[in-house]
Amino acid sequence: MPALLSRAAADDPSGTMVWGVSTISYTGFVVSPLLVAGLSGWIGLPAALAALGLLGLPLLARAVAPRS
């Protein structure tokens, strides 16, 4: 997390990127346990954890996609 904030601060002195990274990470920190708890009652804990991991795939795809 500190590396992400450092990188965001270096690219945007106004602080908008730092604000965005902080907001997204805090939201994930708060929402992910609730999501896992809700899904685990419905599909089981291993599948709920796998579903949470699958939510990160679009971010990974965007990170490795070639930039134009």
The string of pLDDT tens digits covering residues 24-47 is: 888 989 998 999 999 999 999 999
Helix (H, G, I), strand (E, B) or coil at 27: helix
Question: How many residues would you count in the chain?
Answer: 68
- For residue 6, CA distances in Å to 2, 20, 27, 43 come to 6, 13, 19, 38
User: How many structural domains does the chain have?
Assistant: 1
Rounded Cα distance between 16 and 28, Å, is 18
Tokens of 20: 């965005």
| Containing structural domain, residue 32 | 2-64
How confident is the model at residue 36, as a pLDDT? Answer: 92
Name the band, by pLDDT with cuts 50, 70 and 90, for residue 13.
confident
Q: What pLDDT sits at residue 4?
A: 67
**33-36: long-range pairs with CB below 8 Å, 24+:** none
pLDDT for 11 equals 72
